[in-house]
Amino acid sequence: MATQTHMHGRIGESIKRKEDGRFIRGKGNYLDDIELPGMLHMAILRSPHAHARIKSVDTAAASGMPGVIAVVTGELMAQHKLAWMPTLSYDTQAVLATDKVRFQGQEVAAVIADTKYQAEDARDAIVVEYDVLPAVTSPQQAKEAGATLIRDDKENQKDNHIYHWEAGDQATTQAAFAKADKVVRLHTFYPRCHPAPLETCGCIADVNGATGKATVYMTSQAPHAIRTVFALVTGLPEQNIRVISPDIGGGFGNKVPVYPGYVVATAASLLIGRPVKWVEDRSENLISTGFARDFHMTGDLALDKNGKMLALRVHLDSDNGAFFADAQPTKFKAGLFHIVTGSYDIPTAHVTADGYYTNKAPGGVAYRCSFRVTEASYLIERLVSNAAIELGMDQAELRMKNFIQPEQFPYRSATGWVYDSGDYPKAMNVALEQLGYAELRKDVGARRQKGEVTGIGVASFTEVVGAGHGADFDILGLRMFDSAELRVHPTGKALLRMGTKSQGQGHETTFAQIVTEELGIPAADVAVEEGDTDTAPYGLGTYASRSTPVAGAATAMVARKLREKARTIAAHLLEAAEEDLEWDTGRFYVKGSPDKAKTIQEIAFAAYTNVPEGMEAGLEGVHYYDPPNMTYPFGTYAVVVDVDKGTGQVKVRRVVAVDDCGVRINPMIVEGQIHGGLAEGYGIAFMQLITFDAEGNCIGSNFMDYLLPTAWETPQFELGETVTPSPHHPLGAKGVGESPTVGSPAAYVNAVIDALSPYGVTNIDMPVTSDKVWAALRAAGVTE
């Protein structure tokens, strides 16, 4: 029999990244690096107030300043019916304010000038008169009787309530609670934070007056969907719109939505007839673009006296800001939050959610998160650890006792999810062993005897990623499939184009490896292109860990289609029957005669030079993949912390992260993503906070106030893995980019709460800063 051909870059091989070359030479092509002939620069004037009526906008002085080409106001946009735009959640959002400003940082006017410096000078010369109104800065305030109405622009909006949403079964849940021996409650606030990719958002709009073609370069994670939204908003024919996402300097969900600046720049380019560039500065990014979280959650977990979970009841109030602009599937108002039963076999659950308008920036993006699963995972994992404390049980043991068991998959959860595969006890055991949990528990006990404040936190998350299935998951009606187009050239080299868009995830390498695996073309010979809507097949983009589950599957499927055509050509070349051919990565050979073979390169050449009678020439295809289900990555994270009694400072001593994301295509890239997510999880747990004062001023509007982890704070990570393939994904892969941000915040906080539990502390909301920890110790009478 034929031996397996060695092929560089197959699935499972940690080949070095193909995209690195340009980045390490400083030759990346990010949005702000693009310079078009005749290009102008735009600066946006933003509201200093959280809530105010606009009395007047005076642009006279600004218009006369050096280099100024145009000043755009809400009034001008309204003349073109572009003062408002639809959001991704069927609401409307002001492009440039005409009536009121509803959050600090809202877009009021824009200046287009020859240079960035001139545009910013003139922006500062625009005079706006405001009547300041009271600001609403929390859902609690928003629902108070007599609260100021934020959305008086909406005809039927009489209060600040946006939506009520439920999942699960109220009656059976109530009945289960009635029989419970123990009910554990946790009220926790998952505060507002911001993805803050290192590159801010921006665009260059280039509308060609002669042809009507609008080319918009944009920092977009979802260029195809943006093109369609643009067509619907502006009325431009879709074939005349080309969205190009160049290299993207991190996204993490921040670059999914359509922002007002994109619309203004495009309108300005249309009116002026020259390209217009707009790039946010960091403060604009933090105060106006898609934030994350801001969920006030109350969870009740019912258990019997042996610690068996009986039911879960959750209510949340969501702070959505001034416009309901969450980027999430249409059906689910609170995203996928109702995955909140997590890794546990909880027979019944009831989830209720209410969304509220506040005078804060809109957005609600899934920050390194699959549509609110992060908040859900945090709540259940904190709740379970608190239950263990209240029951006097070990937190790992309580989890083990309640895990969905491997033989229960596919598992239908109490709120209707069908988990594809998992082995939660195994991941837990690997993590505990790697940590040396039993020994460490003893060590913690010994240290506490000596008066040290130390603890271990565990979290066993279940993720839900890879949207759709398209019938259940859509954004503005666009079904969440994804696509891959593969062209094999006559010399056997290939071009793969996809509907997704890498922002650092390494798509150019990972997806080339899928072609290598399926078609036997070395990864080095496969160019991967994404982000140009004129050339790439339609797709919904890269977020919610969906690229590998959806577009990765599409890549495998299109490669398999080509392999079948290659088989026919090989049979023709070898003068053999198709059914007599065997595939060995990279070649077909005649069964029993391994030397009678044709390589994929020979077959590709023949596809253009010598095809069987009646066959179309060429070796290319496209596949649109609509996944039958989501994938459900999971894992167990364990964290050890030491707390300084004198200062409240938390030092993370160890982090063990065992991830199961199914089959790993490039393990090096997977591990890199896990490192990054664990660091962001650390930041969210301990540092990153966007908050507001009573007037609605944003605190956290620059990197001196919005603290991101540096190499100095960030702990070392010890990774482990288990592999439970997804049964429905063609490669068994599940997606991984977000697991560590979803799973780790609860592990970090559980460790702190474990450390403080001897003092009766049961909760500290994130970020767990030194002052909060110090105050908790102080309240418990601990001083040093």
Partner 1 sequence: MKVAMKVNGAERSGDVEPRVLLVDFLRTNLRLTGTHVGCDTSSCGACTVLLDAEPVKSCTVLAVQAEGRSITTVEGLAQGANLSPIQVGFHEEHGLQCGFCTPGMMLVGASLLERNAKPTEEEIRWAISGNICRCTGYMNIVKAIKHAAMLRAAADAESPGRPTVAAATAGGE
Q: Are 498 and 484 in contact (CB under 8 A)?
A: yes
Strands (E) in 490-619, as ranges, are 494-498, 526-530, 581-584, 587-590, 593-599
Residue 682 neighbours by CB distance under 10 Å: 25
Q: Looking at 26, 37, 235, 614, which residue binds partner 1 (CB under 8 A)?
A: 26
Which residues have a Cβ under 8 Å from the Cβ of 428 and sit 6 or more positions away?
396, 399, 400, 403, 458, 460, 636, 658
Q: Looking at 703, 758, 775, 780, which residue binds partner 1 (CB under 8 A)?
A: 703
Nearest approach, Cβ of residue 348 and partner 1 (Å): 38
Chain positions 407 to 446 lying near partner 1, rule: CB under 8 A, are none
Q: Looking at 13, 153, 166, 281, which residue binds partner 1 (CB under 8 A)?
A: 281
Q: Looking at 17, 213, 447, 772, which residue binds partner 1 (CB under 8 A)?
A: 17
Q: Looking at 4, 592, 716, 780, which residue binds partner 1 (CB under 8 A)?
A: 716
Contact status: 24 vs partner 1 (CB under 8 A): yes
- Strand duo 494-498 + 526-530: pairing: parallel
Contact status: 55 vs partner 1 (CB under 8 A): no
Contact status: 672 vs partner 1 (CB under 8 A): yes
Q: What's the CA gap between 288 and 363, in Å, rounded?
A: 8
For residue 354, what is the enclosing H or E element? strand 348-356
User: By rule CB under 8 A, what string of x and - marks binding of each residue 346-385 to partner 1?
Assistant: ----------------------------------------
221 is catalytic: yes
Stretch that binds partner 1, among 316-324, 489-497, 601-609, 669-677 (CB under 8 A): 669-677
Q: Are 457 and 654 in contact (CB under 8 A)?
A: no
Nearest approach, Cβ of residue 669 and partner 1 (Å): 7
Peptide bond into 468 cis (omega under 30): yes
Strand order in the sheet with 650-660: 453-462, 634-643, 650-660, 718-721
Q: Are 369 and 681 in contact (CB under 8 A)?
A: no
Count of residues touching partner 1 (by CB under 8 A)? 56
Contact status: 196 vs partner 1 (CB under 8 A): yes
Q: Looking at 506, 552, 635, 735, which residue binds partner 1 (CB under 8 A)?
A: 506
Q: What's the CA gap between 75 and 69, in Å, rounded?
A: 17
Nearest approach, Cβ of residue 198 and partner 1 (Å): 4
Nearest approach, Cβ of residue 593 and partner 1 (Å): 42
Exactly one of 193, 369, 661, 698 is catalytic; which is it? 369
Which residues have a Cβ under 8 Å from the Cβ of 507 and sit 6 or more positions away?
498, 500, 501, 528, 530, 542, 547
Exactly one of 221, 395, 503, 513 is catalytic; which is it? 221
368 is catalytic: yes
Nearest approach, Cβ of residue 459 and partner 1 (Å): 17
Exactly one of 102, 151, 227, 368 is catalytic; which is it? 368
Q: Looking at 9, 260, 504, 743, which residue binds partner 1 (CB under 8 A)?
A: 504
Contact status: 505 vs partner 1 (CB under 8 A): yes
Give the Å distances, CA to CA, from 459 to 57, 70, 184, 571, 634: 52, 54, 17, 54, 10
Backbone angles phi, psi at 105, to 5 degrees: 100, 0
Q: Which residue has the tokens 């509007």?
A: 701
Cβ distance to partner 1 smaller for residue 169 or 247: 247
Contact status: 695 vs partner 1 (CB under 8 A): no
> Residue 263's Cα: distance from chain center in Å?
23
Backbone angles phi, psi at 438, to 5 degrees: -60, -45
Chain positions 242 to 271 lying near partner 1, rule: CB under 8 A, are 247-250, 252
Residue 641 neighbours by CB distance under 10 Å: 28
Cβ distance to partner 1 smaller for residue 24 or 210: 24
Contact status: 23 vs partner 1 (CB under 8 A): yes
Nearest approach, Cβ of residue 372 and partner 1 (Å): 21
Cβ distance to partner 1 smaller for residue 249 or 468: 249
369 is catalytic: yes
Q: What's at 101, amino acid-wise?
A: V
Give the closest residue to 519 by CA, choosing from 569, 587, 610: 587
Stretch that binds partner 1, among 70-78, 268-276, 373-381, 708-716 (CB under 8 A): 708-716
Enzyme catalytic residues: 221, 368-369, 738
Note the residues at the interface with partner 1 (CB under 8 A). Answer: 16-17, 19-28, 30, 32-33, 35, 116-117, 196-200, 247-250, 252, 281-283, 503-506, 668-669, 672-680, 702-704, 708, 710-712, 714, 716-717
